[in-house]
Structure 1
Amino acid sequence: MAIIANYIIDETGEVTLVLHAKLTSLPTPDNASPELVSSTANPDQSLKDIEARIQVSAKHLRLASPVFDRQLTGSFNEAQNLQRTGKVDITVEGWDLEALLILLRIIHGRNHRVPHFVPLSLCARIAVLVDYYACQEAMQVHLRLWKSHLETQIPTGYNATETLEWIWVSYFFDMSRVFDQVTLLAIRHGDEHMESTEFPVKASIMEAINTHREKSIDNVLNLIARWRDGLRQGLFGCTFECRCDDLGALEQSLFTANLYNPPTTPFTGWSFDSLFTHVKTFLKPSSRCNLLSYLNHDKCDAIPKIVQEVETLSSEMQGLDLTTFK
């Protein structure tokens, strides 16, 4: 049986929003049933079935959100029940409880219970609600405050979950510099096909990230293959001995890096950055070239030149331009 947690945003409110969720912990509710007290006093990491019932004002919901306005005044069953009985329950599924409570408290002017700053993950989940309910105007003061705080927290390291949150938040808040940086992190460091199921990131953004990621990896593999094939075919290296040394060293390095048989699209388990890291560890053999001869040595020393070309690819990589997706 689900644990019922009651939250009173407006004690005279006619609407009860009902959210079912599985949580390990929950925000402090306004009721104190023995079962709920026991659950919150002895938290553990097991999932609990929660039925959160949030009492709110129909007027505040309608003023803040055109979505709620249509639901409470149109031909929907909720609107008819409200008109007939003066009260109505509305089931809202899939939302984060903490984010929903913050949004509803702001809509109702209960700002004393709203945090001045929220962490990235919570901000991302609130932004999902603001986007869905189209209540940007009612939320604009807090959104502006949270945005200014986030702009000082731009990430430099890669974490798949956090990077996706940043992509969504930077798009939602129209932070072009942050969007460029975090999409570049995803392109450089992503090691699998990136998808967004929790956040409403445009499909075109995810497609662009995945395409750029795969292209960047493909570019590295192609230039390695060009040197590898050129050495095999005698197109590179000034002498037979030179080619044998370079090709042998390259083959050994590829085998050590598990690249002897190159990966294929979508390059699961590989990122541009991990590939670049391997390339930089390729061992260069001692040169067998006669530098005093009149032979062309531009195509000798394969491994240093491969590293140099990958460094050039790395320096030319860019994130996505936010304006392209607006």
Structure 2
Amino acid sequence: MASKGNPQTKSDVKKLPVESLTIDPDGDLVLIFTDDSQNKCWWTLEKTEFGLINQSHFEKIFSVSAKNKAKSRDARAREVRILVSSKCMSMASPVFKAMLNRDNFREGHDLSKGKAEVPLPEDNFPAFKILLDIIHYRGREVPKAVDIDIITHIAILADKYQLIQPVQPFADLWLVELRKSLPTFFTPNVVLWLSISWVFKFPIEFKQMTQIMQKGRDGCLGSHDPGDTLEGLPVPSRLFGKSVYNIPLYSYTHKFQVILEEHREKTVSEASSVVTTLIEKYLKSVQPICSSTFSGNSHINREKQHACDCLMLGSLQNRVATQSVFGNAYFKPIDVFTRAASCSVEEILTYVRGTHPMALCDNFVPANPTAKLPSAPAPVLAPTRTSVFGAYPLPPPFSHGVKESIIEQIDAIEARIVGLNLEDFQ
């Protein structure tokens, strides 16, 4: 046994069981893999009770240190040696073509003497086996369907070894079934789908995944210790700034979040201004905004109009200052939008849409609830009055039409969250 602090000798290293496979009986290249695929994939999706992944939960799934990787390789791991054709590998992959050139690397020099071995311990064996079957024209061996884990590994390898062109027809076939399990809310699988859709140029899925991210919360990809690494997922360089193979996870997520956060901040600002703009109007208005007629006495009318404005202002301010914004979440008064980072964009839009402004007119001047129903008789229009919300006949609409206006504005904001276009990153 090697002493602590000293390098291990060959006898200290536990030998793995060896399995040999043949793809090409006349092959001249042996690819060597360490297959521990029976272990749980590090990115396997786990749902919380409400279908959302919070930051600590995300970090728990994605924090993959070297120590954790070593522990994951248990007794089920094996060494797999596959005999393949160097000519097929070189024709399909520019990376292997360069690697097997006798003037570039040792593997190429060995191959010129008859046969070479290439260890690929970090590459996923089941995914690479599928790629080898494709490259060697063994179409019947290629599965007709794959799961999200396998296609993610295939995307990583296809991008790494520049094998996208031969794999693309099969990826299109696999997508038909995989589409049925597309995420509809943010989970770690969204990040995997982002990578898959980028590598294989699936514009619809790319747009859908980035739309989900735009609706997420600040830091939806997590905040991580730069010491932890994530085996790189291929993504647009304009999103993350550079190719990402075994780079710190923080660097991986930060570049993309800059773009997402720009969209998010704009959406949150627009949503918050829907209510805050109304509050500012009521606070700064010198004349009554309410123009309802309560009485023939102008003095009484003015007092009740002011009272109506005060009730509207109070109900709007109360919505912003509430202490139970989302379920049991606690927010200090006038702190909803300043602490929006802890809420998803979707939650904020839902919250603002749920604003219930109250007007004194709703009690003293009954609204006509059937005015908009197609089957209702045409109402007799009273004299038209004008407020900051436009002209309307008396009696005024419920809450002076403010509730309806808020819903329309929030719906319009949400309709603009459409995700990113794949072609913009080509």
TM-score range, shorter chain: 0.7 to 0.9
Relative to structure 1, is the Cα distance of residues 69 and 203 closer, same or farther in structure 2, using a 3 angstrom cutoff?
A: closer
Instruction: Kindly indicate whether residue 262 of structure 2 is the aligned counterpart of residue 188 of structure 1.
Output: no
Shift of the alpha carbon at 1:153? 3.3
Instruction: Kindly indicate whether residue 221 of structure 2 is the aligned counterpart of residue 130 of structure 1.
Output: no
- Native 8 Å contact 2:279 2:316 kept in 1: yes
Q: 1:113-160 deviations in whole A, cap 9, x for unaligned?
A: 32111234422321221122112343344234224545x538472233
Q: Which residue of 2 aligns with 1:32?
A: none
2:358 to 285, 309, 314: 285
Instruction: Kindly indicate whether residue 112 of structure 2 is the aligned counterpart of residue 87 of structure 1.
Output: no
- Native 8 Å contact 1:9 1:55 kept in 2: yes
Long gaps (5+) in structure 1: 28-45
In the TM superposition, what are the counterparts of 1:29-40 in structure 2 within 5 Å? Answer: none
Long gaps (5+) in structure 2: 1-13, 42-70, 223-229, 240-255, 291-304, 326-330, 366-382, 391-399
Instruction: Kindly indicate whether residue 309 of structure 2 is the aligned counterpart of residue 296 of structure 1.
Output: no
Q: Percent identity?
A: 20
Shift of the alpha carbon at 1:75? 1.8
Q: Which residue of 2 aligns with 1:224?
A: 275
Q: 1:54-98 deviations in whole A, cap 9, x for unaligned?
A: 3232333222211011111142132234445733232342x3332
In the TM superposition, what are the counterparts of 1:93-108 in structure 2 within 5 Å? Answer: 93=122, 95-108=123-136
Task: Output the CA distance in 2 between the equivalents of 1:21 and 1:251.
Answer: 60
Q: Which residue of 2 aligns with 1:261?
A: 335
Instruction: Kindly indicate whether residue 110 of structure 2 is the aligned counterpart of residue 76 of structure 1.
Output: no
Relative to structure 1, is the Cα distance of residues 181 and 137 closer, same or farther in structure 2, using a 3 angstrom cutoff?
A: closer
Name the aligned partner's letter for residue 119 of structure 2: I
Cα-Cα RMSD = 3.6
Task: Output the CA distance in 2 between the equivalents of 1:203 and 1:155.
Answer: 24
How many residue pairs match? The answer is: 305
Relative to structure 1, is the Cα distance of residues 16 and 159 closer, same or farther in structure 2, using a 3 angstrom cutoff?
A: farther
Shift of the alpha carbon at 1:220? 1.0
Aligned partner of residue 228 in structure 1, secondary structure: helix
Relative to structure 1, is the Cα distance of residues 250 and 20 closer, same or farther in structure 2, using a 3 angstrom cutoff?
A: farther
**More helix, by proportion:** 1
Name the aligned partner's letter for residue 217 of structure 1: V
Relative to structure 1, is the Cα distance of residues 155 and 287 closer, same or farther in structure 2, using a 3 angstrom cutoff?
A: farther
- Native 8 Å contact 1:71 1:78 kept in 2: yes
Task: Output the CA distance in 1 between the equivalents of 2:280 and 2:318.
Answer: 15
- Of 229-238 and 120-129, more deviation after overlay is shown by 229-238
TM-score by length of 1: 0.76
1:48 to 55, 73, 78: 73
Larger radius of gyration: 2
1:162 to 189, 192, 195: 189
TM-score by length of 2: 0.60
Instruction: Kindly indicate whether residue 21 of structure 2 is the aligned counterpart of residue 8 of structure 1.
Output: yes
Shift of the alpha carbon at 1:191? 5.1
Task: Output the CA distance in 1 between the equivalents of 2:308 and 2:148.
Answer: 54
Q: Which residue of 1 aligns with 2:201?
A: 174
Aligned partner of residue 248 in structure 1, secondary structure: helix
Shift of the alpha carbon at 1:51? 5.2
Task: Output the CA distance in 2 between the equivalents of 1:25 and 1:126.
Answer: 18
